[in-house]
Structure 1
Amino acid sequence: MAQAPAYIESVIAVAHAPDLGRDVYTNASPLDLQAGARSLRGSILVAQAISAASATVPESYLVTSSQSSFLNPTNARDKLVYRVERTVEGRKYATRIVRAEQNATLVYIATLSFQNYGSSSSSNVLIYGLPMPALDGSHPDDVDKDAMQAMQSGMVDKGASITQISADDLSLDWRPLGLEMAEDPSRFRLRGFVRSPARLSATASPAVHLAAFGFASDEMSVGPALAANPLQVGRGFKNVALLASLTHNVSFHEPGARIDDWVVLERDTTWGAHGRVLISQRMWDMKTGRLVMTVSQEALILLKPKKAKI
Structure 2
Amino acid sequence: MTDQTPEPALPRADDAMTPILTVERIEDNFFRGRETPNGKGRMFGGQVLGQALMAAANTVEGDRLNHSLHAYFMRPGDATLPVLYRVERDMDGRSFNTRRVIAIQNGQPILNLAASFQVQEEGFSHTDPFPENIPEPEDLLNEHQLAEKYSDQVPGMLARFLEWDRPVEIRPCSLIPPYDMTPPEGETYRWIRANAPMPDDQALHRAAMVYTSDMGLIGAALAKHEVGFFTEGMRVASLDHATWIHGDLRMDDWLLYCMDSPWSGGGRGLTGGRVFTRDGRLVATIAQEGMIRRKL
TM-score range, shorter chain: 0.7 to 0.9
224, 231, 234: which one pairs with 1:237? 231
SS in 2 for 1:178: coil
Q: CA deviation at 1:147?
A: 4.2
Q: Partner amino acid for 2:25? A: H
SS in 2 for 1:214: helix
String of CA shifts for 1:77-110, please: whole Å, max 9, x gaps. 2221000000010010010000000011011000
Q: CA RMSD in A?
A: 2.7
1:15 corresponds to:
24
Separation in 2, partners of 1:108, 1:66:
13
1:216 corresponds to:
212
Q: TM-score, normalised by structure 2?
A: 0.86
Q: Note if contact 2:241-2:286 (Cα within 8 Å) is conserved in structure 1.
A: yes
Q: TM-score, normalised by structure 1?
A: 0.83
Q: Note if contact 2:219-2:229 (Cα within 8 Å) is conserved in structure 1.
A: no
Matches within 5 A, 1:100-249: 100-117=103-120, 120=121, 122=122, 125-136=123-134, 138-145=135-142, 146-147=144-145, 149=147, 158-160=155-157, 162-166=158-162, 169-178=165-174, 187-201=185-199, 204-230=200-226, 233=227, 236-240=230-234, 242-249=235-242
Q: CA deviation at 1:175?
A: 0.7
24, 30, 36: which one pairs with 1:24? 30
* Structure 1 stretch displaced more, 143-152 or 186-195: 143-152
286, 290, 298: which one pairs with 2:281? 290
283, 288, 301: which one pairs with 2:292? 301
Runs of 4+ in 1 over 4 A off after TM superposition: 147-156, 165-168, 179-186
Q: Note if contact 2:237-2:291 (Cα within 8 Å) is conserved in structure 1.
A: yes
Matches within 5 A, 1:39-50: 39-50=42-53
Q: Partner amino acid for 1:25? A: F
**Cα separation, partners in 2 of 1:154 and 1:261, compared to 1, 3 Å:** farther
**Cα separation, partners in 2 of 1:284 and 1:95, compared to 1, 3 Å:** same
Q: Note if contact 2:182-2:223 (Cα within 8 Å) is conserved in structure 1.
A: no
Separation in 2, partners of 1:168, 1:250:
26
Identify unmatched segments of 5+ residues in structure 1. 306-310
Higher Rg: 1
**Cα separation, partners in 2 of 1:10 and 1:274, compared to 1, 3 Å:** same
Q: Partner amino acid for 1:244? A: A
String of CA shifts for 1:30-75, please: whole Å, max 9, x gaps. x231x53321011001100110000000141100001000011211
Separation in 2, partners of 1:166, 1:235:
13
Q: Note if contact 1:148-1:176 (Cα within 8 Å) is conserved in structure 2.
A: no
String of CA shifts for 1:200-253, please: whole Å, max 9, x gaps. 13xx411011000110111122111222211xx48951142x211111000001
Identify unmatched segments of 5+ residues in structure 2. 1-12
Q: CA deviation at 1:7?
A: 0.9
59, 71, 86: which one pairs with 1:68? 71
Q: CA deviation at 1:159?
A: 2.1
1:268 corresponds to:
260
Q: Partner amino acid for 1:298? A: E
**Cα separation, partners in 2 of 1:223 and 1:234, compared to 1, 3 Å:** closer
SS in 2 for 1:259: coil
Q: Partner amino acid for 2:244? A: S
**Cα separation, partners in 2 of 1:91 and 1:228, compared to 1, 3 Å:** same
Separation in 2, partners of 1:85, 1:235:
35
Q: Note if contact 1:44-1:215 (Cα within 8 Å) is conserved in structure 2.
A: yes
Separation in 1, partners of 2:49, 2:242:
10
245, 249, 271: which one pairs with 1:279? 271
**Cα separation, partners in 2 of 1:200 and 1:51, compared to 1, 3 Å:** same
SS in 2 for 1:94: strand
Q: Partner amino acid for 1:266? A: C
Q: Partner amino acid for 1:23? A: N
SS in 1 for 2:174: strand
**Cα separation, partners in 2 of 1:108 and 1:139, compared to 1, 3 Å:** same
2:9 corresponds to:
none
Percent of aligned pairs with the same residue?
A: 29
1:89 corresponds to:
92
**Cα separation, partners in 2 of 1:151 and 1:235, compared to 1, 3 Å:** farther
Q: What is the total number of aligned residue pairs between the two structures?
A: 281
**Cα separation, partners in 2 of 1:155 and 1:274, compared to 1, 3 Å:** farther
